[in-house]
Amino acid sequence: MAQLLFKDVNKVYPNGYHAVHDFNMEINDGEFICLVGDSGCGKSTTLRMIAGLEDITAGEFYIDGKLANQMSSRERGIAMVFQSYALYPHLTVYENLAFGLMLEGIDADVIEEKVQATAKILGLTDYLERFPRNLSGGQCQRVAVGRALIRKVSIFLMDEPLSNLDAKQRVTMRSEIKQIHRSVGATTIYVTHDQTEAMTMSDRIVVMKSGGYVQQIGTPYELYFYPKNLFVAGFIGEPPMNFLKGKIEGGNFVNEAGLSFDIKPIVKDAASIEGKAVVFAFRPEAIKLAKNGKAGKNEYLIESSVELTELLGDTTNVYANVGDFNVILKVNPHDTPEMGSTFKFCVPYKAAYLYDQETEEAVPSDMKRQ
Ligand code: ADP
């Protein structure tokens, strides 16, 4: 197992592109960390710097307290799983698993033992004599994981390992990888653009934005309930958070849709944002029906016109307009409003967020989210 420390780590590619800016983080022994963000935000670059496949342009990277900037990949004690699996097509599953160990000159009976043990963990025992072309995508991915696992490394790096699988296989492999992590305990850094994967698998998530800027580092709970800025608020959660632009006037949030909400209950210091352009935000799943068209205690009331409804089974997505703003609301299917109708809903104070439009940062609040 290994503890990792990044101090102001930067990557500038030879063509001058600055792909990662001031990455700072401490990763504990055995933690499962996801790097998440849109394509091109610097996730793979960060992973490749950890692996020693890319030079670190500036800053320091430590493994177990030792400066690792110049360490070879081998010295770092890492194994990496790629999106493409990178299996040898002309070798059987057994040989694919054994290959790295054979190169290291390990005894055949030790290899046999390790291959059998790894195959057992991954449910590959019955497939050891098959070639990759005769395996499903999920099985190929298991072999790729097995190849990394068999080397008993202390750092496990995975770059979008599930993106070639179909939705059902992804869900299965997600929990398998988690289980493997639990039993092996290696510090794991996992790159994905899929926030559901990140939310379900991680101890902590690093949200990155294009240009290689870290936006927030936190547990799935922290990122969902306490997003620090508009980017994270919009990135974590599906459907995404609703944003209504407006400004603060006389301690109220007001906007062109005719909303006027006293914001004192939900911010630390209303006076400090007087006159500012802000965004009022709430999650689709956090709203409540307005009983008799009225807000309950500690709730804001919003009127919307319903454009479209989508029954998903356990819930209905309602696409509606609040003035000129589009919102998505999740409601109980039995309470689905008619398309074209007016729908009044409530946002509990504890589910209402305010962001500064200029800085895009959350307006400080003591609100305990639930
Ligand atoms: P992600 O994994 O988040 O999709 P990457 O880390 O692969 O993003 O890439 C980050 C940025 O760096 C992208 O804009 C990409 O085009 C650029 N990039 C990646 N590799 C190189 C390279 N060898 N030279 C120049 N730019 C690169």
The pLDDT value given to residue 153: 83
The answer to whether the CB of 39 is under 6 A from ligand 1 is yes
Q: Which of 164, 158, 168, 169 is nearest to 202 (CA)?
A: 158
Residue ranges of E strands in 132-276: 155-159, 187-192, 204-209, 213-218, 242-249, 252-254, 260-262
Report the separation in Å between the CA atom of 29 and the middle of ligand 1, taken as the mean of its atom positions: 28
The answer to whether the CB of 192 is under 6 A from ligand 1 is no
Distance in angstroms (rounded) separating the CA atoms of residues 247 and 280: 9
Give per-10-residue mean pLDDT for the chain (370 aa).
Answer: 93 97 97 95 96 96 97 88 83 93 90 91 90 89 86 88 81 86 90 93 96 97 97 96 98 96 96 97 96 93 97 97 97 96 97 98 92
How wide is the angle at C-alpha 264 spanned by C-alphas 261 and 267, nearest 5°?
110
Q: What number does the ligand 1 atom closest to the CA of 20 have?
A: 10
Distance in angstroms (rounded) separating the CA atoms of residues 263 and 267: 6
Q: What number does the ligand 1 atom closest to the CA of 47 have?
A: 6
Report the separation in Å between the CA atom of 144 and the middle of ligand 1, taken as the mean of its atom positions: 23
Contact 99, 143 (CB under 8 A): no
The pLDDT value given to residue 150: 86
Q: Which of 232, 230, 231 is nearest to 219 (CA)?
A: 232
The pLDDT value given to residue 1: 64
The pLDDT value given to residue 179: 85
Tokens of 272: 């400090």
The pLDDT value given to residue 267: 96
The pLDDT value given to residue 223: 97
Give the sign of the dihedral formed by CA 93, CA 94, CA 95, CA 97: positive
The pLDDT value given to residue 85: 73
Report the separation in Å between the CA atom of 309 and the middle of ligand 1, taken as the mean of its atom positions: 39
